[in-house]
Amino acid sequence: MRRITVRSTPVLVILAVLLTFLITAGPIILAGANPIAAYAAYLVVPLTSQFTLLEVLVSATPILLTGAAVAIAFRAGYWNIGAEGQLLLGAIAAAGIGTMVGDLPPVLALPVMVVGGALAGAAWALVPALLRVRFGIDEVVTTLLLNPVALLLVNGLLHGPWRDPETGFPESARIAASAEFPTLIERSRLHIGFLIAIAVIGVAWYVLVRTPTGLRLRAAGLSPHGARFAGINVSRTLLGAALMSGAIAGLAGVGEVAGIQNRLTSGISPGYGYTGIVVATLGTLTMPGVALAGLFLGDLTVGASSAARSLGIPSQLGAVVQGVLLLTTIALLTQRRYRARAAAPPAAPPAAEVASG
Amino acid sequence: MTATSPALELRGITKRFGDLVANDGVDFDVRGGEVHALLGENGAGKTTVMRIAYGLTQADAGEVLVHGQRIDLRSPRDAIAAGIGMVTQHFALVAPMTVAENLALGRATGLRLDLDDARRRVADAADRFGMRVDPAARVENLSVGQQQRVEILKALSRDCRVLILDEPTAVLVPGEVDALFATLRSLVADGLAVVFISHKLAEVRAISDRVSVLRRGRLVATVDGDTNERELASMMVGRPSFGVERPSDAGPELREPVLRISDLHAAGSHGLEALASVTLDVGAGEIVGVAGVSGNGQTELVDVLSGMRAPSSGSIVVGDTDLTGADPTRMMAAGIGRIPEDRHASLVGDLSVAYNLVLERLDDFRAGGRIDGRRIREHAVALIERFDIRAGPDDPVASLSGGNIQKVLLARVLSRDPRVVVVSQPTRGLDIGATEYVRSQLLERRAAGAAILLVSEDLDELLALADRLVVLYEGRIVGEMPTTGVDVDRLGMLMAGRGEAA
């Protein structure tokens, strides 16, 4: 009779990971490698040296943020698939502001750029959110379709007004030194964006679990009707969650511009927004889960590129593993929901059936 | 037709859902060339027994015979093959497709859609039965009545010899009802057997050759179609047993009205008017019962009073506060406690009992910017004790039994000492213990001076709890009476829409 408790969720996620390894063993064998060796290269090797360990954190930084962004929206029942576009808008804003704040000291330049990037991400999330709340237009479609639009905007800028005047490459000018994210450890690429990501996840956890706002957001996501009935303004909650989600995704773009590339490039995001969906799902939409899943996928990303070198298998196999992981996780978690429903007291459907007769 | 064996015969159909017996040994038959009505209140088991005949539900006991042959119905596919067609209350049409395409889909066997055949059938039906539909029209552009005609055509195009119509008039406007009846008469003249499910006496009498009355899953009687309405009504409603608990205290004459509803209109989900000119006062310490067969505006009335549906005109006043069109927050602030019929949807099933108990007023349970987990828990423990909820504060509401879910909702509402309680079907699906508990709580609120509007389909419940009754039929209040010395026959007639005949 009892619903399957949350405790079993981590077990299901681990099962999903194992199942993914089983499924992706096929392509790895086709690529001519031993699957066991490949997984060791994917997961263990990156953790064995300080350099690769820090690279894992560098890779995790943007997807921790997009993962948190997606998880917050999903918890509210707002299916934001547009973290990629929101990230790109954050990156555009960071590059724009970053080149203009050369006269300001970092203590001013950095906050201005961070806030600007967050606002830009939120702005990109605003229109689909309004369409959903006001007219009931499916946000899955609108947020998804705005992603290529954002990329076109990036390319339009880079091939037009923002083209690097010195090299002529389609890249923006380098941002001012005062706008660059300081690195956390000498001779590594690990920058303060990682700390921002951890802080965002911490705050998001606190808000979701400990505040009335978070409880309202969760209630709205779990049962919009029940939440509205209890006097919760579901529309406003969705709008807030969507904007917050866009802002956090925007921060991921700021981090890549200010911490890694120091300029806007058309390849600023190899799909971090979409990876965020994997992170959020694998993290079962909880903030501790997002933190673990982000680090796990960061590990996998670093491992995939080093495995490409050491084992001679295509680095794209890393993306294959990610994709399969998303599918297995969703499949297993859906299974859990169905089982929970089947195990619930069967009063509701038959009662409805009888009542209509 | 030599009607030696009925076109469709059900023998001893029994169906249980958990503890609830939806059908208890029901016998029913329909012959070619007749309309046999299945009459009963909502929840009497009419739809269930016909879903069994159409293979949508499997019976626990009993058998189904078609032209004297026992058949095994595992799915509607088997029923269709046996010549049984059913038009349910929810149409199964593809809205953006044309009428012809929908008909062809219903017959599609090979790879090809035979649209010409479908068009021929539409034309043929127009000639023979006067059912005019444009085969090239898109279903989404048709009126509900026309869509229903397409559903009937679909059944006919599968060569059905038995046509089951589940509350076909519920979605129709009066003119469309006449057209439907004309169609049914010509279909029957052509030898078709029609099962007509309804709870409306006038319609049943107008169209039926025979009437079978179901009450609480049992077949009461099968009588001629011209049986008088009073008799049908009393068979349908039954004589309520008086297990009255309500204390007979001061007369209801001088109660000050607390909830005043005047000239309230509201649209239902179909866009049709669901509430028309409802005017009703509920006084302090009074329980006003709303009787009626469900689907006559009760849901909409409760939704409007809950702040979940905006009225199109009229006014709602509690005390001195005008609440017309107010949202749930304002309704609650004015002292309205709301317990709608769909208790699952009124709570958040995946959240804990403790959170659900405070969800309406989170701002009362905060410590600075955060929720005060300790006080929420204490509050929950106290209410669990007081309202005898068999669950822990951290259990998700969805894991509770129906009775305990109702107690959670009751506790959330009554713990705020509401001036007005709007409650619908408070004991539906509950066991006897929970039912008595819920009723005693409502009476306790009445004694404490709350104005209570009680919507129920259970006449026993209304007579046991309410001080007076109003009857809702097609969105209007068609009658009002005190519960003491109530004329049950008249009540049944009012509920079945025959107020003027009483």
pLDDT at residue A1, rounded to an integer: 38
Residue A228, SS3 per DSSP: helix
Which is it for strands B336-339 and B420-424: parallel, antiparallel or unpaired? parallel
Residues of B in contact with A1 (CB under 8 A): 399
Whole-angstrom distance, CA of residue A273 vs CA of residue A69: 9
Whole-angstrom distance, CA of residue A349 vs CA of residue A354: 9
B102 and chain A in contact, CB less than 8 A? no
Residues of A in contact with B370 (CB under 8 A): 206, 210-212
What's the total number of domains in chain A?
Answer: 1
Whole-angstrom distance, CA of residue A135 vs CA of residue B53: 42
- The residue of A229, A336, A338, A353 whose CB has the most chain B CBs within 10 angstroms, and thus the best one to mutate to test that interface, is A229
Which is it for strands B336-339 and B287-291: parallel, antiparallel or unpaired? unpaired
Q: Give tens-digit pLDDT for B350-380.
A: 999 999 999 999 999 999 889 999 999 999 9
pLDDT at residue B403, rounded to an integer: 83
Dihedral, A98, A99, A104, A109 alpha carbons, nearest 10: 0
Write the CA distances from B16 to A203, A350, B22, B216, B383, integer angstroms.
Answer: 51, 9, 6, 12, 34
Residues 6+ apart with CB under 8 A from B271: none
SS3 content of chain B, % helix, strand, coil (to 5): 35, 25, 40
User: Regarding predicted confidence, which is higher, B111 or A230?
Assistant: A230
Residue B76 has pLDDT above 50, yes or no: yes
Percent over 90 (pLDDT), chain B = 56
Tell me the average pLDDT across B66-92: 91
Size (chain A), residues: 357
User: A212 and B306: CB-CB below 8 Å?
Assistant: no
Residues of A in contact with B332 (CB under 8 A): 231
Whole-angstrom distance, CA of residue B1 vs CA of residue B296: 39
CA angle A355, B151, B153 (to 5 degrees): 145
pLDDT at residue B378, rounded to an integer: 96
Specify burial of residue B112 (Cβ count, 10 A radius: 0-12, 13-18, 19+): exposed
Strands (E), B238-320: 257-267, 273-283, 287-291, 313-318
pLDDT at residue A184, rounded to an integer: 93
Percent over 70 (pLDDT), chain B = 93
Q: Give tens-digit pLDDT for B437-491.
A: 899 999 999 999 999 999 998 888 898 899 999 999 989 999 999 988 888 788 8
Residues of A in contact with B43 (CB under 8 A): 354-355, 357
Least confident of B15-24, B82-91, B371-380, B467-476: B15-24
Domain that holds residue A228: 45-315
B310 and chain A in contact, CB less than 8 A? no
A161 and chain B in contact, CB less than 8 A? no
12-31 in B: which are within 8 Å (CB) of A? Answer: 17-18, 20, 22
Q: Give tens-digit pLDDT for B50-70.
A: 999 999 999 999 999 999 999
- Cβ proximity of B62 and B12 under 8 Å: yes
In a domain? residue A221: yes
Nearest to B348 among A226, A231, A350 (CB): A226
Whole-angstrom distance, CA of residue A195 vs CA of residue A128: 30
B42 and chain A in contact, CB less than 8 A? yes
Nearest to A354 among B22, B345, B351 (CB): B22
> DSSP assignment of A275-321, as one string?
HHHHHHHHTTT-HHHHHHHHHHHHHHHHHHHHHHHHH---THHHHHH
- Cβ proximity of B488 and B237 under 8 Å: yes
Write the CA distances from B417 to B308, B363, B366, B451, integer angstroms.
Answer: 21, 18, 21, 11
Q: Give tens-digit pLDDT for B254-310.
A: 578 999 999 999 998 767 789 999 999 999 999 999 998 878 899 999 999 999 999
Whole-angstrom distance, CA of residue B298 vs CA of residue A349: 21
- Cβ proximity of B74 and B91 under 8 Å: no
Tell me the average pLDDT across B118-138: 83
pLDDT at residue A158, rounded to an integer: 95
Q: Which of B237, B150, B162, B168 is nearest to B206 (CA)?
A: B168
Nearest to A354 among B48, B349, B400 (CB): B48
pLDDT at residue A354, rounded to an integer: 35
Residue B27, SS3 per DSSP: strand
In a domain? residue A34: no
Nearest to A229 among B328, B363, B365 (CB): B328
Tell me the average pLDDT across B95-99: 89
In a domain? residue A303: yes
B374 and chain A in contact, CB less than 8 A? no
pLDDT at residue A357, rounded to an integer: 33
- Cβ proximity of B409 and B347 under 8 Å: yes
pLDDT at residue A352, rounded to an integer: 34
pLDDT at residue A335, rounded to an integer: 67
Whole-angstrom distance, CA of residue A120 vs CA of residue A257: 14
Burial letters B337-364, b for 16+ CB under 10 A, else e:
bbbbbbbbbbbbbbbbbbbbbbbbebee
The alpha carbon of residue B406 is apart from the nearest alpha carbon of chain A, in Å, by 13
> DSSP assignment of A58-80, as one string?
HHHHHHHHHHHHHHHHHHTT---
B380 and chain A in contact, CB less than 8 A? no
Tell me the average pLDDT across B106-110: 67
Strand B218-224: give its sheet, edge to edge: B84-87, B162-166, B193-198, B35-39, B210-215, B218-224
In a domain? residue A357: no
Whole-angstrom distance, CA of residue B215 vs CA of residue A232: 41
Whole-angstrom distance, CA of residue A212 vs CA of residue B206: 58
Q: Which residues of chain A have pLDDT under 70?
A: 1-8, 335-357
B338 and chain A in contact, CB less than 8 A? yes
Whole-angstrom distance, CA of residue B49 vs CA of residue B28: 9
In a domain? residue A321: no
In a domain? residue A16: no
Residues 6+ apart with CB under 8 A from A223: B345, B347, B348, B349, B350
Q: Which of B28, B396, B60, B431 is nearest to B212 (CA)?
A: B28
Which is it for strands B370-371 and B366-367: parallel, antiparallel or unpaired? antiparallel
Q: Which helix (H) or strand (E) holds B448?
A: none
Whole-angstrom distance, CA of residue A293 vs CA of residue A305: 18
- Cβ proximity of A302 and A321 under 8 Å: no
Strand B61-66: give its sheet, edge to edge: B20-30, B8-17, B61-66, B69-71
pLDDT at residue B245, rounded to an integer: 56
Dihedral, B417, B420, B424, B426 alpha carbons, nearest 10: 30
Q: Which of A307, A336, A338, A357 is nearest to A28 (CA)?
A: A307
Instruction: For each of the domains in chain B, give its residue range(s) and CATH number, in order of start.
Output: 8-237 (3.40.50.300), 241-335+418-502 (3.40.50.300), 348-417 (no CATH)
In a domain? residue A32: no
Q: Which of B356, B352, B349, B319 is nearest to B336 (CA)?
A: B319
What CATH number is associated with residue A244?
1.10.3470
Residue B2 has pLDDT above 70, yes or no: no
Write the CA distances from B12 to A265, B9, B52, B65, B230, integer angstroms.
Answer: 76, 10, 12, 11, 28
Count A/B contacts: CB-CB distance under 8 Å. Answer: 123
In a domain? residue A33: no
Q: Give tens-digit pLDDT for A11-63.
A: 888 888 899 999 999 988 998 888 898 888 888 989 999 999 999 999 999 99
